[in-house]
Amino acid sequence: MSDRPSSPEPCAAASGVPASASGRPRAASVWAWPHGEATTVPFDGLSAFRAHVLDLLRGASCGRQDMVISDPDYEGWPLGDAAAVDAFNDWALASRHTHCTVLASDFGSWTRQFGRWMRWRTSWTHRIRCLQAPQELARDVPRALLLPGRAAVEVADAVAWRGGVTGEATRLARLQDRIDAISQRSGDGLAPTLLGL
């Protein structure tokens, strides 16, 4: 595919399933889709959402891709899990030129919820931008992980954890626009320090 890096490392694997920089297997479902394909795969339940988030996090390093993570409070996200931190680390090591924006309404519980990620972030603060939405936009913050122009997982119903994984270009662009509109009015939201942990 033209969107994939020409270098065989770290994504190429003999089986066709990308491997991480550390050699761990990586799901390749999103990367099998043609760029901009009008595909949306629904999911139902928190465990399915968490699995799709991990899949996209792992895929971000394979595509050497910027990331945007957005949620009012990140309740239920797997960001504190070892697998998620490994995926973030693989992403950071895959390219020096990628960045991640984390948008939230409230970062109050992050040090407690995601201590492992917070420790990892101290080495990568120059690549991670954390933004806190203003109070008047707090309810509008989408629950999504977006790999711009490539794929996204988005929660439509936060009570039942229903949503979809999409590679559809128009849906990705709409999600990017919604996040950008809030980000432009947001300020720094999470100090890159472990003081108090």
Q: State pTM to two decimals.
A: 0.81
183 domain-assigned: yes
12 domain-assigned: no
96 domain-assigned: yes
CATH number, domain containing residue 129: 3.30.870.10
The two three-digit tokens of residue 78, written as one number: 């797997």
The tens digit of pLDDT for each residue in 3-48 reads 333 322 334 432 333 344 444 333 345 555 555 556 888 999 999 9
79 domain-assigned: yes
The tens digit of pLDDT for each residue in 92-110 reads 999 889 999 999 999 988 8
Helix 82-94 crosses helix 46-62 at what angle (to 10 degrees)? Answer: 20
56 domain-assigned: yes
61 domain-assigned: yes
CA-to-CA separations, 22 to 8, 27, 47, 82, 195, in angstroms, rounded: 14, 14, 25, 13, 30
Query: Domain residues for 93?
Result: 37-188
Cβ atoms of 8 and 137 within 8 Å: the answer is no
The separation between the first and the last C-alpha atoms of the chain, rounded to the nearest angstrom, is 44
Report how many domains make up the chain.
Answer: 1
Cβ atoms of 130 and 102 within 8 Å: the answer is yes
